[in-house]
A and B are shown apart, each in its own frame.
Chain A
Amino acid sequence: METFLQQIINGLVQGSIYALVALGYTMVYGIMGLINFAHGEVVMIGTLVAITVIGGLMAAGVPAVVAGGTGVLAAVVVCMAIGWWLERVAYRPLRHAPRLTPLITAIGMSIVLQNVAMIVWGRNYRTFPSLIRSESFEVAGASFTTVQVMIVSVSTLMMAGLLLLIYRTKLGMAMRATAQNPQVASLMGVNIDRVIAAAFVVGSALGAVAGVMVGSYYEIAHYQMGSMLGLKAFTAAVLGGIGNIAGAVAGGVLLGIIEALGAGYIGDLTHGFLGSHYQDIFAFIVLIGVLMFRPSGLFGEKTGDRA
């Protein structure tokens, strides 16, 4: 029972990070039917930018709170710029190309971004500077830390903000209209190019925040960390029904919990044959299961024929 509760807490934390990243996939897919496989790399760059900025500022004697805030801001700005640039340079010229073309381009851009990050930050693991003294709390035998509480609360805030943007603003309405019928949306005066760019920029901003969270949670970062994180967040988006905002949140949290429970019990289940470091397999079991039995996901409206 203690393991169970503990793993639910861990899953919730990991899941809210997945959810934040999954929103980036689902927003872009919802509007233009493209799976932006480079999104995981945007998150990775967010983590590394934050490490550089926070590390540099703290070394210069800037207080941790200011350094942390500046680091998050820098990560958000850099990621938004990369998201905007990706759409402009890689995807917009392919707007009317066959579906496979932008998909392959996305994989290509992901490789490009990884290599750029390798050149800038090197091949070695970078440690995330510790900003706050993380304290441990205990409830019913399960423990959680200040960092974990912060991750869950910040993600919740970000998601609430995104929902407000999408359901309460004019830009959000234009985004939903464009997702449903881009041609008619442009007849209403919506500049489709701008709406698509906005989806990339907003998704990248969420990804940047997720990147900072991943960094401060695991306290370590690497130029290749984006691909696994991206794949899992993509799985979360598919699980919830890709293109569906609420689905991405639900899928992220659910995937985090499934993974955590899997990691917690895999030793018992296999009599010690497999350890908790095999936790990655659960995400992919989920992905394969969803694609086989419910390709539209939990909240998906219809099975799209999109690549």
Chain B
Amino acid sequence: MGLRVAYGGIQAVRGITFHVAEGEMVALIGANGAGKTSTLKAISRILDTAGGTVRFCDREITRLAPHRLVREGIALVPEGRGVFPRLSVAENLAMGAFVRSDTAEIDRDLDQVFGYFPRLKERAEQLAGTLSGGEQQMLAIGRALMSRPRLLLLDEPSMGLAPIMVQKIFEVIQAVARQGMTILLVEQNARLALEVSQRAYVMESGEITLAGEASQLLNDPRVREAYLGES
């Protein structure tokens, strides 16, 4: 029995099974409406599951209250970034560390985030709503890192951004991954996702249709035709 997610009577995720190992970056790719975001929302407890279970570090988290999740070590960078527009950049980052009280370590992590995204430091006192889309994406990622997660869930981090911004953001994602972070990346830009990940799952109409090493999938003719725009 895999993970299922339904909106009313319509099944968006039809029983999928997949895993992410510690320290791994895994991509979930597929077309718009394939069920990728629904999968992330079910893991992060924004949506209730219609069946199946989610396990994290040998603990079942399928029915956990949403606000408990970050304490377990899971941080989501939501689709559309979800920054708090009328909070300052600094306050948004502080919200990321909401459940922590180790002030000294929080400051260290803040320095690290500012190291990844110097732009955020320049704009620390500005309201998040006044940032550009790319800067908001930086902020959303920085905010997630501020909880010092063990698993980072990224939902379409490239969406709506200029190529140069996408490149900057993926450089940071890769740097974070090199530090040993476990990452589950949901991405419509299949090429980009496959280039940075170790493994990947391809979703189609709520089901996983292909899985494997990212480098192999990059060369798989079915993937090339359907998702990389080649024939």
| Chain B residue nearest in CB terms to A184 | B82
Complex partner residue of B98 from A174, A176, A180, A181, CB under 8 angstroms:
A174
Determine the chain A residues whose CB is within 8 A of the CB of B228 once the complex forms.
Answer: none
Q: Does A133 contact B (CB under 8 A)?
A: no
Q: Does B76 contact A (CB under 8 A)?
A: yes
Q: Is the CB of A189 within 8 A of B82?
A: no
Q: Is the CB of A183 within 8 A of B67?
A: no
Interchain Cβ contacts within 8 Å, total number: 64
Cα of A254 to Cα of B67 in the assembled complex, Å:
40
Which one of A173, A184, A187, A189 has the highest number of Cβ atoms from chain B below 10 Å of its Cβ?
A187
| Chain A residue nearest in CB terms to B74 | A187
Least Cβ distance of B103 to chain A in Å? Answer: 12
Cα of A187 to Cα of B40 in the assembled complex, Å:
12
**A181 with B82: in contact, given A188-B70, A192-B67 (CB under 8 Å)?**
yes
Q: Does A57 contact B (CB under 8 A)?
A: no
Q: Is the CB of B84 within 8 A of A180?
A: yes
Q: Is the CB of A186 within 8 A of B84?
A: no
Q: How many residues of A contact B (CB 8 A)?
A: 17
Complex partner residue of B94 from A173, A181, A185, CB under 8 angstroms:
A173
Determine the chain A residues whose CB is within 8 A of the CB of B98 once the complex forms.
Answer: 170, 174, 188-190
Q: Is the CB of A176 within 8 A of B87?
A: yes
Least Cβ distance of A5 to chain B in Å? Answer: 38
Q: Does B46 contact A (CB under 8 A)?
A: yes
Least Cβ distance of A142 to chain B in Å? Answer: 40
Cα of A181 to Cα of B67 in the assembled complex, Å:
13
- CB under 8 Å from chain A, chain B span 73-110: 75-76, 78, 82, 84-87, 91, 94-96, 98-99
Q: Is the CB of A173 within 8 A of B82?
A: no
Q: Does B136 contact A (CB under 8 A)?
A: no
Q: Is the CB of A177 within 8 A of B84?
A: yes
Least Cβ distance of B190 to chain A in Å? Answer: 26
Q: Does A153 contact B (CB under 8 A)?
A: no
Q: Is the CB of A177 within 8 A of B70?
A: no
Complex partner residue of B85 from A170, A174, A180, A183, CB under 8 angstroms:
A180
Q: Does A145 contact B (CB under 8 A)?
A: no
What residues make up the interface of A, taking CB atoms closer than 8 Å to B?
170, 173-174, 176-177, 180-181, 183-192
Kindly list 15 other residue pairs between chains A and B, CB separation below 8 angstroms, not including A188-B147, A190-B95, A191-B65.
A176-B84, A176-B86, A176-B87, A180-B84, A181-B84, A184-B78, A184-B82, A186-B66, A187-B46, A187-B78, A188-B96, A188-B143, A189-B70, A189-B71, A191-B67
